[in-house]
Amino acid sequence: MRVLQLGALLVLVFMPSTQLVWLGRLNPKQLLGPWYLLAVASHEKGFMVEKNTKYVEGVMVTLTPENNLKVLSTRHGLEGCTQNAMELSRQSSRWVFENPALGVLQYRVLGTNFRDYAIVLTQMEVEEEAFNTLELYSRMEMASREALQLFTKWSRNLGFLSQQQAQLQKDFTCARRILQ
């Protein structure tokens, strides 16, 4: 496990344009299935103000016949539980996906053991605002200590301040709707 984490840290390269390059050889099919989104770090404008109102989300990752990732999520909204679906096309790398029409420039897994957790980085551009979001996916309602430590380490290494990080509130009402 430590070798995977150390390897993940060693293969992440920061380029002058703050673009990230992932050199791993992971199989995207291992990401498929149900996940709880338990923690988020974000550079998005307004995240620090809204972070205390965010609840655990449910995420279901599937593969389309065209080998694109389909990410279905459910979250608390102003009108109760809302569902969102996005399809992501594979870039030239096996583990980098995108959907520029939705503002998703890159979606990639930075660290995982696939069994329990995945740390997912998304680079977005919405309404001319570019930002990164780091998410902790967990197969269980509680993240393992290892997953939380790895999430914290990635957050710090990617320049997220502590106020730009949040463990989501433990209301599973909406998450369970998609995961059942």
Could you tell me if 40 and 48 are in contact, meaning their C-beta atoms sit under 8 angstroms apart?
no
pLDDT tens, per residue, the chain with 180 residues: 333 333 333 333 333 233 333 335 566 678 899 999 999 999 999 899 888 889 999 999 999 998 899 999 999 888 889 999 999 998 876 678 999 999 999 999 998 888 899 999 999 998 889 999 999 999 999 999 999 999 999 999 999 999 999 999 999 999 998 887
Using CA atoms, how far apart are residues 59 and 62, in angstroms rounded to an integer? 10
The C-alpha atoms of residue 157 and residue 3 are separated, in whole angstroms, by 18
The predicted model scores a pTM of 0.83
Alpha carbon distance 98, 167 (integer Å): 26
CATH topology of domain 29-179: Lipocalin (2.40.128)
| Both tokens assigned to 108 | 């990639």
